[in-house]
Structure 1
Amino acid sequence: MIPVKVKEIAYDVMMNPVILLIDEDDAKALPIWVGPFEAHSIALALQGICPDRPLTHDLLKNICSLMEIQLSMVLINDVKDGTYFAQLHLWHQDKEMVVDSRPSDAIALALRTQTPIYLSKKVAEGSLAIKDLLNEELHQELKEMLESNRPNDIKKSLH
Structure 2
Amino acid sequence: MDRLQTMIDLSIIALSESISKPGNYALILEDVVGKRRIPLIIGTSEAQAIAVAMEKMQPLRPFTHDLFYQTLKQTGIIMKEAVITRVQDEIFYAHIVLLTPVGATLVMDARPSDAIALAVRFDCPLRATLDVVETSGYFIDDKVRDKKGSYAEYTMAELEELLARIIKKEDYESAARVRDAIDKRKG
**TM exceeding 0.5:** yes
- Identity, % of aligned positions: 30
Query: 1:1-159 residue pairs with structure 2 within 5 A?
Result: 1-14=7-20, 15=22, 16-25=24-33, 27-92=35-100, 93-125=102-134, 126-135=136-145, 136=159, 139-142=163-166
Q: TM-score, normalised by structure 1?
A: 0.83
Q: TM-score, normalised by structure 2?
A: 0.71
Alignment length (residue pairs): 146
What is the RMSD computed on CA atoms of the aligned residues?
2.1
C-alpha deviation, 1:50, in angstroms: 1.6
Rounded to whole Å, the distance in 2 between the matches of 1:57 and 1:48 is: 13
C-alpha deviation, 1:120, in angstroms: 0.6
**Structure with the larger RCO, 1 or 2 (CA within 8 Å, 6+ apart):** 1
Q: 1:40 to 1:26 in 2, by over 3 A?
A: farther
- The 8 Å contact of residues 2 and 118 in structure 1, kept in 2 or not, is answered as yes
Q: Where do 4+ consecutive residues of structure 1 move more than 4 Å? A: 136-146
- Decide which structure has greater strand share: 1
Q: Deviations over 1:14-67 (max 9, x none)?
A: 443011001114721100000111111111112111212110111111001011
- The 8 Å contact of residues 26 and 130 in structure 1, kept in 2 or not, is answered as no
Instruction: List alignment gaps of at least 5 residues for structure 1.
Output: 147-159
Q: 1:25 to 1:121 in 2, by over 3 A?
A: closer
Rounded to whole Å, the distance in 1 between the matches of 2:169 and 2:140 is: 15
- Decide which structure has greater helix share: 2
Q: Deviations over 1:89-147 (max 9, x none)?
A: 0011111110000000000000011010001111101101123343346555556778x
